[in-house]
Chain A
Amino acid sequence: MVMKCEEIRDMMPDLASGMAKVTPEIRGHLAGCSACSGKLEEFRQTMALLDEWQAPEPSPYFDVRLRARLREEIAKPAGGWMGWLRRPVLATALTVLMAIGVGMVFHDGDGIYRHDNVVADNDVSSQAEPGTAVGDLSALDKNHDLYSDFELLDDLQVQQNVSANP
């Protein structure tokens, strides 16, 4: 089978590094194609040069450190119900939701402040000591509805008395 230059080119990294064997078909092509044989020789020289870059062996502490990290990993408690917060996507989604919520509260003016003031007023009146001016006023305010009901009952009794004794 006659091989094409493109096929040799595809195999060249493997041929140059010795990972592929030179079959009779490849040898036949190389014998008749100076471009491919020249390129293959240059690739072989480049590969030999790249061989000079040696990587160091793992240090004697590699296993010790890995063992320690594994122990930490095993001892680490499960994430718990807040564990999902550690996931960046979910944490980001929560932040966005909170931002939208805050935005909605502030929408149309001073929403949260108005609410706070009402709450603050109520808090002040509920915390005022009885006997003080603020305390008495707030007690009167609270009892206003009750007094109104008593007055209404009084009026109804008066009317019934009137009908009973014409």
Chain B
Amino acid sequence: MDGSVLMASLGSPPGTLQTALAGAEPYSDAEVMLRVKAGDEGAFDYLVQKYRRPLVSFMYRMARNSAVAEDLAQEVFLRVYRSRQTYEASAKFTTWLYRIATNLAVNHARDTRKERPEVTVSLDEPDEETGTTMDVRDASMTVEESMVRRERLAAIRSKVEALPERQRLAVIMHKYQQMDYRQISEVLKLSESATKSLLFRAYESLREQLKEFV
């Protein structure tokens, strides 16, 4: 989507932030958020465009469903928007953003624990990522290769999902969001050394459980 569409829909003059960003000094996300607080809807759109992909990806790995992931990611942005008046730039913006996302994802996982089916491999159901069934497989793959790949993928998903909650969050933030130890420790409200230890145990557990697929 063109950023100006959202800005126009929200009734603010387009290009305010982009004009400002064209200057010499780049804005930090916290500064952009302070502009949102001051009523600059274009600044909010900038944050949406910057973080929608990482947030959808984070939520997808937490919720394992792309429609739910999008709903949850949108809810994160709505909460950011609702909290704009009380926002204080004391913490890093991404830490604040991922705290909101983490709370939402954890609550959703707890609320839907009983509804969620086990990760299975099916020949009939389409792969959620590719949208294809085994019938419409990658031409370069044999049926066996495709089946093995999906089995491996199901194992990865289920083993990550089976990790204790904080280990799972730490792995997703570290491995898939490329967040460093300090950021993860801030989001999870742990010490940096506790986060290192948490991540080591999580990867050690995954290594052990996934070794047959390596």
Contacts A53-B153, A56-B129, A67-B6; A73 near B70 (Cβ below 8 A): no
Q: Is the CB of B207 within 8 A of A56?
A: no
Contacts A59-B70, A69-B78, A70-B10; A49 near B156 (Cβ below 8 A): yes
Tell me if B60 is interfacial: C-beta within 8 Å of chain A. Answer: yes
Q: Is the CB of B206 within 8 A of A50?
A: yes
Q: Is the CB of B213 within 8 A of A59?
A: no
Stretch of B48-56, B92-100, B138-146 on the interface side: B48-56
Nearest neighbor of A51 in chain B, beta-carbon distance: B175
- B53-78 residues with Cβ-Cβ distance < 8 A to A are 53, 56-57, 60-61, 66, 69-70, 73-74, 77-78
Nearest neighbor of B11 in chain A, beta-carbon distance: A74
Contacts A10-B200, A59-B70; A17 near B174 (Cβ below 8 A): yes
Nearest neighbor of B199 in chain A, beta-carbon distance: A13
Find chain A residues with CB under 8 A from B10 CB.
Answer: 70-71, 74
The A interface is mostly helix, strand or loop, or mixed, namely helix
How near does chain B come to A103, taking the closest CB pair, in angstroms?
A: 33
Nearest neighbor of B180 in chain A, beta-carbon distance: A19
Q: How many A-B residue pairs have CB under 8 A?
A: 113
How near does chain B come to A75, taking the closest CB pair, in angstroms?
A: 11
Q: Is the CB of A56 within 8 A of B128?
A: yes
Find chain A residues with CB under 8 A from B48 CB.
Answer: 63, 66
How near does chain B come to A57, taking the closest CB pair, in angstroms?
A: 7
User: Cα distance A47–B157 when bound, in Å?
Assistant: 13
Q: Is the CB of A42 within 8 A of B207?
A: yes
Nearest neighbor of B202 in chain A, beta-carbon distance: A13
Contacts A17-B174, A55-B57, A69-B78; A12 near B203 (Cβ below 8 A): yes
Per-residue interface assignment for chain B, residues 124 to 146, with 1 indicating a CB less than 8 Å from any chain A CB and 0 otherwise? 00001100000000000000000
User: Cα distance A36–B214 when bound, in Å?
Assistant: 19
Contacts A50-B156, A62-B74; A43 near B60 (Cβ below 8 A): no
Q: Is the CB of A62 within 8 A of B214?
A: no
Tell me if A46 is interfacial: C-beta within 8 Å of chain B. Answer: yes
Tell me if A14 is interfacial: C-beta within 8 Å of chain B. Answer: yes
User: Cα distance A18–B10 when bound, in Å?
Assistant: 41
Find chain B residues with CB under 8 A from A63 CB.
Answer: 1, 5-6, 48, 52
Find chain A residues with CB under 8 A from B149 CB.
Answer: 52
Tell me if B176 is interfacial: C-beta within 8 Å of chain A. Answer: yes
In the complex, how many residues of chain B place their beta carbon closer than 8 angstroms to a beta carbon of chain A? 47
User: Cα distance A10–B57 when bound, in Å?
Assistant: 26
In the complex, how many residues of chain A place their beta carbon closer than 8 angstroms to a beta carbon of chain B? 35
How near does chain B come to A33, taking the closest CB pair, in angstroms?
A: 16
- Choose among A46, A55, A57 the residue that contacts B206 (Cβ–Cβ < 8 A): A46
Find chain A residues with CB under 8 A from B174 CB.
Answer: 13, 17, 19
Contacts A17-B174, A46-B203; A53 near B61 (Cβ below 8 A): yes
Q: Is the CB of B153 within 8 A of A62?
A: no
Q: Is the CB of B74 within 8 A of A69?
A: yes
Tell me if A65 is interfacial: C-beta within 8 Å of chain B. Answer: yes
Contacts A9-B200, A13-B200; A66 near B210 (Cβ below 8 A): no
Find chain A residues with CB under 8 A from B152 CB.
Answer: 49, 52
Find chain B residues with CB under 8 A from A67 CB.
Answer: 1, 5-6, 9
